Amino acid sequence: MRSETPEITQFLALDDVHIEYCYLRGARDGFPTFVLLHEGLGSASQWRDFPEQLRDRTGCSVVVYSRQGYGKSSSVELPRPLDFLSQHGVQELGRVIDTLSLSSVVLLGHSDGGSIALAYAAINDPRVLGTIALAPHVLVEKRTLEGIRASTLHWQRGTFRDRLIQHHGANVDGAFYGWSNSWLHPQFTLAKITCCLANIKTPLLVLQGREDQYATLEQLNVIQQLVVASCQCVALDHCQHFPHREATEQTLHLISNFITDMSA
Protein backbone atom coordinates (compact mmCIF):
# COMPACT_ATOMS: atom_id res chain seq x y z
CA MET A 1 0.00 0.00 0.00
CA ARG A 2 1.31 3.44 -0.92
CA SER A 3 2.22 5.88 1.81
CA GLU A 4 -0.01 8.95 2.12
CA THR A 5 3.01 11.22 1.58
CA PRO A 6 6.38 10.56 -0.03
CA GLU A 7 9.22 10.03 2.43
CA ILE A 8 11.31 13.20 2.46
CA THR A 9 14.81 12.45 3.69
CA GLN A 10 17.11 14.60 1.56
CA PHE A 11 18.11 18.24 1.20
CA LEU A 12 19.75 20.15 -1.61
CA ALA A 13 22.26 22.83 -0.66
CA LEU A 14 21.87 25.90 -2.86
CA ASP A 15 24.61 28.02 -1.28
CA ASP A 16 23.17 28.93 2.15
CA VAL A 17 19.64 27.75 1.27
CA HIS A 18 18.53 24.18 1.94
CA ILE A 19 15.76 22.72 -0.22
CA GLU A 20 13.75 19.71 0.93
CA TYR A 21 13.29 17.14 -1.83
CA CYS A 22 12.44 13.55 -2.64
CA TYR A 23 13.66 11.49 -5.60
CA LEU A 24 11.56 8.55 -6.77
CA ARG A 25 13.43 6.36 -9.25
CA GLY A 26 11.40 5.16 -12.22
CA ALA A 27 11.60 1.83 -14.01
CA ARG A 28 12.51 3.25 -17.43
CA ASP A 29 16.06 4.29 -18.14
CA GLY A 30 16.49 6.99 -20.73
CA PHE A 31 13.12 8.60 -20.00
CA PRO A 32 12.86 12.18 -18.72
CA THR A 33 12.47 12.94 -15.02
CA PHE A 34 9.35 14.72 -13.82
CA VAL A 35 10.08 17.78 -11.69
CA LEU A 36 7.03 18.72 -9.63
CA LEU A 37 6.30 22.30 -8.51
CA HIS A 38 3.69 22.69 -5.78
CA GLU A 39 0.93 25.25 -5.33
CA GLY A 40 1.15 28.57 -3.51
CA LEU A 41 0.43 27.01 -0.11
CA GLY A 42 1.88 23.61 -0.97
CA SER A 43 5.00 21.62 -0.19
CA ALA A 44 6.60 18.35 -1.20
CA SER A 45 4.47 16.37 1.25
CA GLN A 46 1.20 17.91 0.03
CA TRP A 47 1.42 16.06 -3.28
CA ARG A 48 0.45 13.04 -1.13
CA ASP A 49 0.88 9.83 -3.16
CA PHE A 50 0.54 11.46 -6.59
CA PRO A 51 4.32 11.33 -7.29
CA GLU A 52 4.27 7.56 -6.72
CA GLN A 53 1.22 7.16 -8.95
CA LEU A 54 2.91 9.25 -11.63
CA ARG A 55 6.07 7.14 -11.47
CA ASP A 56 4.12 3.87 -11.57
CA ARG A 57 1.94 4.98 -14.50
CA THR A 58 4.71 6.42 -16.70
CA GLY A 59 7.85 4.59 -15.58
CA CYS A 60 9.59 7.96 -15.26
CA SER A 61 11.58 9.11 -12.25
CA VAL A 62 10.03 11.91 -10.21
CA VAL A 63 11.58 14.77 -8.22
CA VAL A 64 9.43 16.59 -5.69
CA TYR A 65 10.72 19.59 -3.76
CA SER A 66 9.54 22.32 -1.42
CA ARG A 67 10.41 25.79 -2.64
CA GLN A 68 12.25 28.10 -0.25
CA GLY A 69 9.88 29.24 2.48
CA TYR A 70 7.78 26.07 2.29
CA GLY A 71 7.81 22.66 3.95
CA LYS A 72 11.13 21.88 5.60
CA SER A 73 13.14 24.08 3.24
CA SER A 74 14.96 27.19 4.46
CA SER A 75 12.80 30.14 5.42
CA VAL A 76 12.37 33.13 3.15
CA GLU A 77 12.42 36.82 4.02
CA LEU A 78 9.11 38.66 3.70
CA PRO A 79 7.69 40.47 1.92
CA ARG A 80 8.32 38.46 -1.20
CA PRO A 81 9.04 40.46 -4.36
CA LEU A 82 5.86 40.79 -6.37
CA ASP A 83 7.52 39.04 -9.32
CA PHE A 84 8.63 36.05 -7.22
CA LEU A 85 6.81 33.58 -9.48
CA SER A 86 8.47 34.74 -12.70
CA GLN A 87 11.86 35.49 -11.13
CA HIS A 88 12.82 33.72 -7.91
CA GLY A 89 10.71 30.65 -8.60
CA VAL A 90 12.24 30.28 -12.06
CA GLN A 91 15.80 30.83 -10.82
CA GLU A 92 15.35 28.35 -7.99
CA LEU A 93 13.95 25.71 -10.36
CA GLY A 94 16.97 26.08 -12.63
CA ARG A 95 19.31 25.61 -9.69
CA VAL A 96 17.46 22.49 -8.57
CA ILE A 97 17.82 20.98 -12.05
CA ASP A 98 21.51 21.95 -12.08
CA THR A 99 22.28 20.60 -8.62
CA LEU A 100 20.58 17.27 -9.28
CA SER A 101 22.37 17.03 -12.68
CA LEU A 102 19.14 16.24 -14.51
CA SER A 103 19.78 15.97 -18.23
CA SER A 104 16.18 15.71 -19.44
CA VAL A 105 13.06 16.75 -17.56
CA VAL A 106 9.34 17.30 -17.91
CA LEU A 107 8.07 20.09 -15.68
CA LEU A 108 4.79 19.49 -13.86
CA GLY A 109 3.45 22.39 -11.84
CA HIS A 110 0.20 23.01 -9.99
CA SER A 111 -1.41 26.45 -9.52
CA ASP A 112 1.42 28.89 -8.64
CA GLY A 113 3.81 26.03 -9.45
CA GLY A 114 2.15 25.77 -12.85
CA SER A 115 2.81 29.47 -13.44
CA ILE A 116 6.49 28.95 -12.57
CA ALA A 117 6.65 25.94 -14.89
CA LEU A 118 5.26 27.99 -17.79
CA ALA A 119 7.70 30.83 -17.12
CA TYR A 120 10.61 28.39 -17.04
CA ALA A 121 9.43 26.63 -20.21
CA ALA A 122 9.63 29.99 -21.98
CA ILE A 123 13.38 30.11 -21.31
CA ASN A 124 13.72 27.07 -23.58
CA ASP A 125 16.29 25.29 -21.45
CA PRO A 126 17.28 22.37 -23.72
CA ARG A 127 16.91 19.96 -20.78
CA VAL A 128 13.16 20.66 -20.63
CA LEU A 129 11.43 18.37 -23.12
CA GLY A 130 7.88 19.33 -22.22
CA THR A 131 5.71 21.01 -19.62
CA ILE A 132 2.48 20.09 -17.83
CA ALA A 133 0.56 22.77 -15.94
CA LEU A 134 -2.35 21.92 -13.63
CA ALA A 135 -4.64 24.90 -12.97
CA PRO A 136 -1.90 27.47 -13.67
CA HIS A 137 -2.43 31.21 -13.33
CA VAL A 138 -1.49 33.55 -16.18
CA LEU A 139 -4.06 36.21 -15.28
CA VAL A 140 -5.03 37.80 -11.97
CA GLU A 141 -8.78 37.25 -11.86
CA LYS A 142 -11.50 38.44 -9.51
CA ARG A 143 -12.33 34.82 -8.68
CA THR A 144 -8.73 34.16 -7.65
CA LEU A 145 -8.62 37.14 -5.31
CA GLU A 146 -11.99 36.22 -3.80
CA GLY A 147 -10.69 32.71 -3.13
CA ILE A 148 -7.55 34.07 -1.45
CA ARG A 149 -9.60 36.42 0.72
CA ALA A 150 -11.78 33.48 1.75
CA SER A 151 -8.64 31.49 2.64
CA THR A 152 -7.44 34.45 4.71
CA LEU A 153 -10.65 34.37 6.74
CA HIS A 154 -10.16 30.65 7.42
CA TRP A 155 -6.57 31.39 8.42
CA GLN A 156 -7.66 34.05 10.90
CA ARG A 157 -10.03 31.56 12.55
CA GLY A 158 -7.06 29.27 13.20
CA THR A 159 -8.21 25.94 11.75
CA PHE A 160 -6.49 26.46 8.39
CA ARG A 161 -3.19 27.25 10.10
CA ASP A 162 -3.53 24.09 12.17
CA ARG A 163 -3.89 22.01 9.00
CA LEU A 164 -0.93 23.63 7.26
CA ILE A 165 1.52 23.54 10.16
CA GLN A 166 1.93 19.77 9.84
CA HIS A 167 3.42 20.35 6.37
CA HIS A 168 5.29 23.63 6.88
CA GLY A 169 6.32 23.62 10.54
CA ALA A 170 8.20 26.82 11.36
CA ASN A 171 7.61 28.07 7.81
CA VAL A 172 3.83 28.08 8.15
CA ASP A 173 3.30 31.82 8.72
CA GLY A 174 5.82 32.85 6.09
CA ALA A 175 4.31 30.44 3.59
CA PHE A 176 0.81 31.82 4.09
CA TYR A 177 1.59 35.53 4.22
CA GLY A 178 4.19 35.29 1.46
CA TRP A 179 1.41 33.92 -0.74
CA SER A 180 -1.64 35.90 0.36
CA ASN A 181 0.01 39.30 0.82
CA SER A 182 1.66 39.08 -2.60
CA TRP A 183 -1.48 38.07 -4.47
CA LEU A 184 -3.62 40.66 -2.70
CA HIS A 185 -1.14 43.49 -3.23
CA PRO A 186 -2.71 46.09 -5.57
CA GLN A 187 0.37 46.05 -7.83
CA PHE A 188 0.62 42.27 -8.15
CA THR A 189 0.55 41.14 -11.78
CA LEU A 190 1.30 38.09 -13.89
CA ALA A 191 2.03 40.13 -17.01
CA LYS A 192 5.60 38.82 -17.30
CA ILE A 193 4.33 35.25 -17.42
CA THR A 194 1.55 36.05 -19.90
CA CYS A 195 3.96 37.88 -22.19
CA CYS A 196 6.45 35.01 -22.28
CA LEU A 197 3.97 32.30 -23.32
CA ALA A 198 4.66 32.85 -27.01
CA ASN A 199 8.33 31.97 -26.40
CA ILE A 200 7.57 28.36 -25.41
CA LYS A 201 8.86 25.97 -28.08
CA THR A 202 8.36 22.56 -26.45
CA PRO A 203 5.08 20.60 -26.05
CA LEU A 204 2.64 21.77 -23.43
CA LEU A 205 -0.30 20.11 -21.64
CA VAL A 206 -2.60 22.29 -19.51
CA LEU A 207 -5.41 20.92 -17.33
CA GLN A 208 -7.99 22.88 -15.37
CA GLY A 209 -11.17 21.92 -13.57
CA ARG A 210 -14.38 23.42 -14.93
CA GLU A 211 -15.42 24.14 -11.33
CA ASP A 212 -12.07 25.68 -10.30
CA GLN A 213 -12.84 27.96 -7.35
CA TYR A 214 -9.65 29.98 -7.91
CA ALA A 215 -9.86 30.73 -11.64
CA THR A 216 -12.08 30.76 -14.72
CA LEU A 217 -11.47 28.93 -17.98
CA GLU A 218 -10.16 32.20 -19.40
CA GLN A 219 -6.79 30.99 -18.13
CA LEU A 220 -6.95 28.10 -20.63
CA ASN A 221 -8.21 30.36 -23.39
CA VAL A 222 -5.31 32.80 -23.03
CA ILE A 223 -2.72 30.01 -22.95
CA GLN A 224 -4.22 28.35 -26.03
CA GLN A 225 -4.24 31.67 -27.90
CA LEU A 226 -0.70 32.74 -27.03
CA VAL A 227 1.30 29.51 -27.11
CA VAL A 228 2.48 28.72 -30.65
CA ALA A 229 4.12 25.38 -29.77
CA SER A 230 2.15 22.14 -29.57
CA CYS A 231 -0.39 22.87 -26.83
CA GLN A 232 -3.25 20.76 -25.51
CA CYS A 233 -5.62 22.50 -23.10
CA VAL A 234 -8.23 20.34 -21.36
CA ALA A 235 -11.11 21.44 -19.13
CA LEU A 236 -11.94 18.64 -16.70
CA ASP A 237 -15.53 17.93 -15.69
CA HIS A 238 -16.45 17.55 -12.01
CA CYS A 239 -13.12 19.01 -10.94
CA GLN A 240 -12.12 22.12 -8.98
CA HIS A 241 -8.59 23.42 -8.38
CA PHE A 242 -6.76 20.13 -7.80
CA PRO A 243 -6.84 17.93 -10.93
CA HIS A 244 -4.31 15.49 -9.46
CA ARG A 245 -6.62 14.87 -6.47
CA GLU A 246 -10.10 15.46 -7.85
CA ALA A 247 -9.68 13.91 -11.31
CA THR A 248 -6.68 11.70 -10.66
CA GLU A 249 -7.34 8.95 -13.17
CA GLN A 250 -8.09 11.31 -16.05
CA THR A 251 -5.09 13.46 -15.15
CA LEU A 252 -2.75 10.46 -15.10
CA HIS A 253 -4.20 9.20 -18.39
CA LEU A 254 -3.64 12.54 -20.13
CA ILE A 255 -0.12 12.83 -18.72
CA SER A 256 0.75 9.29 -19.79
CA ASN A 257 -0.47 10.00 -23.32
CA PHE A 258 1.48 13.26 -23.35
CA ILE A 259 4.70 11.45 -22.44
CA THR A 260 4.06 8.74 -25.04
CA ASP A 261 3.40 11.29 -27.81
CA MET A 262 6.38 13.39 -26.77
CA SER A 263 8.69 10.35 -26.87
CA ALA A 264 7.43 9.05 -30.22
State the Cα–Cα distance between residues 192 and 139, nearest whole angstrom: 10
Q: 137 pLDDT band (50/70/90 cuts)?
A: very high
Q: 171 pLDDT band (50/70/90 cuts)?
A: very high
Q: Element (H or E) spanning 251, and its range?
A: helix 248-263
Q: Secondary structure of 34-66 in the HEC alphabet?
A: EEEECCCCCCHHHHCCHHHHHHHHHCCCEEEEC
pLDDT tens, position by position, 36-78: 999 999 999 999 999 999 999 999 999 999 999 999 999 999 9
| pLDDT at position 236 over 70 | yes
Q: 30 pLDDT band (50/70/90 cuts)?
A: confident
| pLDDT at position 5 over 80 | no
Percent of the chain with pLDDT over 70: 97
For 152-169, b/e burial (b = at least 16 CB within 10 A) is: beebeeeebeeebeebbe
Q: 4 pLDDT band (50/70/90 cuts)?
A: very low
State the Cα–Cα distance between residues 151 and 179, nearest whole angstrom: 11
DSSP string, 130-159: EEEEES--SS--HHHHHHHHHHHHHHHHSH
Q: Which domains does the chain have, with CATH numbers?
A: 10-263 (3.40.50.1820)
Percent of the chain with pLDDT over 90: 92
State the Cα–Cα distance between residues 44 and 241, nearest whole angstrom: 18
CA-CA-CA-CA torsion for 180, 184, 188, 193, nearest 10 degrees?
60
Given phi > 0 = left and psi -120 to 50 = alpha, else beta, which region is 4?
Answer: alpha
Q: Are 96 and 125 in contact (CB under 8 A)?
A: no
What mean pLDDT is predicted for residues 120-140?
A: 98
* 67 DSSP 8-state letter: P
State the Cα–Cα distance between residues 232 and 248, nearest whole angstrom: 18
